[in-house]
Amino acid sequence: MRKFSLKKLFYPLVYLLCLFAPALAYAAITPTILVDPKALGFKIPGLSDVLTFLIRFFFVVAGLAALLYLLWGSLSWVLSGGNKENVEKARDKIQAAIVGVILIVIVVAIVATLEQIVFAGHLCFGLTCAITIPSLLQ
């Protein structure tokens, strides 16, 4: 049976205390800041707005990446100089990019159909309407 050593428990506890003590002290003295949205001139975004932006941004970046990969494949085809091996590599890049664009379009179409037709706007995933986060407290 292994012997219990207090040293093995002491050092991690001291490390955690040193890690979290400043945050606890800061939280104890931090005043509450009230912000008037009318004085700011814009609406402060909530969690659903931020998540909606991130989801839409992800699909835009995915589409741009697929189109850039398509351009890279077509440029490498042009610059292959008739070499069969380079032409095959370029063709594979172009095929992968086209499959990526098709998948992105299919996913966007399915999610948009689910949001607008199946759930009738009551449950949104962030593409055609803002994400709805169910409230746990009424």
pLDDT tens digits, one per residue of 69-114:
999 999 999 999 889 999 999 999 999 999 999 999 999 999 999 8
Give domain status of residue 60, yes or no.
yes
* Count of structural domains, the chain: 1
Supply the pLDDT for residue 70.
95
Domain containing 48: what range?
42-118
Supply the pLDDT for residue 14.
75
Give domain status of residue 137, yes or no.
no
Percent over 90 (pLDDT), the chain:
41
DSSP state letter for 114: I
Other beta carbons within 10 Å of 38 = 8
Supply the pLDDT for residue 115.
86
Percent over 70 (pLDDT), the chain:
82
Give domain status of residue 12, yes or no.
no
- Report the C-alpha gap between 11 and 129 in whole angstroms: 50
Give domain status of residue 34, yes or no.
no
Q: Are 71 and 58 in contact (CB under 8 A)?
A: no
Give domain status of residue 10, yes or no.
no
Give domain status of residue 63, yes or no.
yes
Give domain status of residue 14, yes or no.
no
Supply the pLDDT for residue 119.
84
Give domain status of residue 138, yes or no.
no
